[in-house]
Structure 1
């Protein structure tokens, strides 16, 4: 049976993310953190937009590829340091993915499109960049808001929720309000959004 470039790329992205030394739990099972994130991104994309192009599918899986290799604390622990870290990560994720896609047999045009998406270029203007951003925000709201709530005070949380909301499309907003939040988190979201 022939393995498609998509299957190869997916397997290799998973293999890279499976090396993450950081562990996250899901339903009492331990997973390498970025492998779990990648699986959540892909599953959410397929649920939110089953007709998503192959480029967006790969970009969703590779959004955080090998993220642990560039540590946050290797940059100044201020706003400028944070933004530089995020910018460098995007380039690193895009480059790592491009190398995998080339090995899998994709052409340069397809690879350029995937790196464009991973670097989140033309947000709000490019429909597929916006789709990817919606999925990133939905995954955050569903799986990662809860741990944030434990670490931050209410005003900061409301600010984070509002910033996340403002990055999303109307379809993203609709999907976000259907997520099964805890009663406390739903109240916090509604308070942040003034609804």
Structure 2
């Protein structure tokens, strides 16, 4: 690992360690954004060990300082949600790009990672698609059960279908092979 990659990953971790929201990780509680970044990096390393530096940085910085722009600061409903997600992606891209430049990367490198974090090129750009697959895998592995708890089963099925549509065929195959999903959710993976 290059020293500038180590530097930028450490800077992302330091930023995310300030998250006031804590999440249980085994017997410990950790800042939620920090833990999410660690999970993203671990999943990327497992699924795509040959990932580029840009993809490694994008995975770790996917939710950098997410708590600074809470969902509650946007209007309710789909339009408010989509605006919040777009603004989050732009913020994450700008923040990570700035950390990359501080670590010695060229502005073009920062812009490439920002473009990945904005999900520009999904389904057309292999790195953006891999990032999306990793995001979906991390969601299913670590956050889906809590998300689904207490929700209407039809709504949960709709979310699984929307998640699957964003994934590559290889990503969907991995989900089918690695996760013990209820039979009624399996058709959502056959997009």
Using the size of structure 2 for normalisation, the TM-score is: 0.94
Q: Which residue of 2 aligns with 1:37?
A: 36
CA distance in 2, matches of 1:43, 1:71: 26
CA distance in 1, matches of 2:85, 2:120: 14
Aligned-pair CA distance for 1:63 = 0.3
Q: Which runs of 4+ in 1 moved over 6 A?
A: none
CA distance in 2, matches of 1:129, 1:12: 22
List gaps (5 residues or longer) in structure 1: none
Task: Output aligned runs, 1:114-153, within 5 Å.
Answer: 114-153=113-152
Any conservation in 2 of the 1:117–1:129 contact (CA below 8 Å)? yes
List gaps (5 residues or longer) in structure 2: none
Q: Which residue of 1 aligns with 2:24?
A: 25
Any conservation in 1 of the 2:164–2:188 contact (CA below 8 Å)? no
Any conservation in 2 of the 1:38–1:60 contact (CA below 8 Å)? yes
Aligned-pair CA distance for 1:176 = 1.1
CA distance in 2, matches of 1:51, 1:83: 32
Pair 1:156 & 2:158 matched:
no
Any conservation in 2 of the 1:158–1:191 contact (CA below 8 Å)? no
Q: How many residues align?
A: 190
CA RMSD after TM alignment: 1.6
